[in-house]
Amino acid sequence: MISLKSRSKEEEIMDGFSGDPADIEHAYRLIEKVNRFLGGTRVVLRYLKRYSRRWPAGATIRILDLGSGATDIPRAIVDWARKKNLKIRVFALDILAEALRYSRNKLRDYPEIRFVQASALDLPFGKESFDYVISSMFFHHLDEELLVKVLGEADRTARRGIIVNDLLRYWRAYLWILFFSCFTKNRMFKKDAPLSVLKGFRPREIRTLIQKTSLRYLKFHYHFGHRFALTGERPA
């Protein structure tokens, strides 16, 4: 019997992927569609647009994307920045070589995006190396102890702020993604998409996480599509 009282601890296929690269590439294409149509991309851009009002004219803004996966969020950020004539450099970080290989092949026309294979638990960057550290659909892969550590690393390397976008653990969200997953034969998406919701969060769990990290500038926000944002800029 499925329960949503607490976060699932079951591993997704993607967490330990070692199969046909074509499978993960197909899954990433499906994830891109979910982010685009169910609001994940808009969540990140919404806060960057708000924060950009305070950016110094002509400054190059450096962004680190943790668990970048399909790298659709960095691509959307660069597309937005190009339209606004803003200078942006996005570092797409992922521990999976398959993810980075997929992204490099797809984003040859995006020199603003650089790729880094590393763990988000031990970032190979110095203090305040970036203006913002962002993350989309990555936090639900981690247990509470690791979440505290990743947020600590994000806070250490972010000079201006943090933007996290992930899933809320509600029945409606689970049933919707279960319905959508019926239309694909991709075994990874079929299992991982519904499981992602079961590994998602309740608002009180995110607020407890904020308390444990002592990062009081971070705030919880509801968003369309059973998403939430954990975001904020450092006090001036």
Tell me the average pLDDT across 7-34: 75
pLDDT tens readout for residues 49-63: 999 999 999 999 999
Distances (CA, A) of 89 to 38, 79, 94, 110, 178: 26, 12, 16, 10, 36
| pTM > 0.85 | yes
Which CATH number is 102's domain given? 3.40.50.150
Distances (CA, A) of 103 to 35, 69, 92, 133, 135: 16, 8, 9, 19, 16
- Taking alpha carbons only, the member of 203, 179, 201, 202 closest to residue 190 is 179
Residue 176: inside a domain: no
- Count how many Cα atoms sit within 13 Å of the Cα of residue 26 in the half-sphere of its side chain: 14
Residue 56: inside a domain: yes
Structurally, how many domains does the chain consist of? Answer: 1
Residue 110: inside a domain: yes
Helix (H, G, I), strand (E, B) or coil at 231: strand
User: Hey, which residues does 132 pair with through a beta bridge?
Assistant: 63, 161
Tell me the average pLDDT across 162-188: 89
Residue 34: inside a domain: yes
Distances (CA, A) of 86 to 48, 93, 110, 220: 12, 22, 14, 27
Residue 178: inside a domain: no
Residue 143: inside a domain: yes
**Which range among 89-103, 129-143, 194-208 shows the weakest confidence by mean pLDDT?**
89-103
Please indicate whether residue 102 or residue 56 has the higher confidence score (pLDDT). Answer: 56
pLDDT tens readout for residues 216-234: 999 999 998 899 999 999 9
* Residue span of the structural domain in which 95 resides: 19-169+202-233
Please state, rounded to an integer, the average pLDDT across all residues of the chain.
91
